[in-house]
C-alpha cells in the first residue's frame, strides 16, 4: 500500500511548481510585443438533437410529441502569438459598412 501522506506532499509540491511556471509564463506574455498568427474560426457548435416526447397513449390531452432542437453555431475566433503562445479568443465582431460608388 502506498503512503498517502507522502503522495499528498508530492502533490502539493507539484502544485506549487505548476504555479511557479504559470507565473513565469504570465510574466513573459505580459511583456511580449505579440505577433499574432492567422485568425482561425473556432465556433462553439451544439449539434441538433431531439427531446423525446411522451409515450403514445399517455398524458391524455397534455400529450407532447418529440421536439426537434436545431444545430446551433456560436461564432468564435482564436489567435495565437508566434512568440509567447498566448491565446486570445473572441466572440466580438465589428460591423463595417462598405460604400461602393455606383453609376
Ligand atoms: Zn506574444
65: which 3 cell numbers? 410529441
pLDDT, residue 15, reads 97
Which residue ranges in the chain fall short of pLDDT 50?
none
Asked if residue 9 belongs to a domain, the reply is yes
With beta carbons less than 8 A apart as the criterion, state whether 32 and 81 touch. yes
Q: Could you tell me the CA-to-CA distances from 80 to 2, 17, 58 in Å, in that order?
A: 42, 25, 55
Residue 18 Cα to ligand 1 midpoint, Å, equals 21
Asked if residue 14 belongs to a domain, the reply is yes
In whole angstroms, give the CA distance from residue 35 to residue 85: 10
**Cβ neighbours of residue 62 closer than 8 Å, sequence gap 6 or more:** 54
For the whole model, what pTM was predicted?
0.64
Q: Report the number of distinct structural domains present in the chain.
A: 1
pLDDT, residue 8, reads 97
Residue 93 Cα to ligand 1 midpoint, Å, equals 22
Domain interval for residue 4: 1-31
pLDDT, residue 59, reads 86
pLDDT, residue 79, reads 98
Amino acid at each position: 500500500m502506498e503512503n498517502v501522506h507522502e503522495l499528498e506532499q508530492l502533490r502539493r509540491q507539484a502544485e506549487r511548481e505548476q504555479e511557479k511556471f504559470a507565473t513565469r509564463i504570465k510574466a513573459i506574455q505580459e511583456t511580449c510585443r505579440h505577433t499574432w498568427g492567422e485568425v482561425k474560426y473556432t465556433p462553439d457548435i451544439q449539434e441538433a438533437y431531439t427531446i423525446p416526447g411522451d409515450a403514445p397513449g399517455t398524458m391524455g390531452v397534455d400529450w407532447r410529441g418529440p421536439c426537434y432542437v436545431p444545430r446551433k453555431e456560436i461564432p468564435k475566433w482564436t489567435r495565437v502569438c508566434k512568440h509567447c503562445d498566448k491565446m486570445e479568443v473572441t466572440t466580438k465582431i465589428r460591423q463595417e459598412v462598405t460604400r461602393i460608388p455606383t453609376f
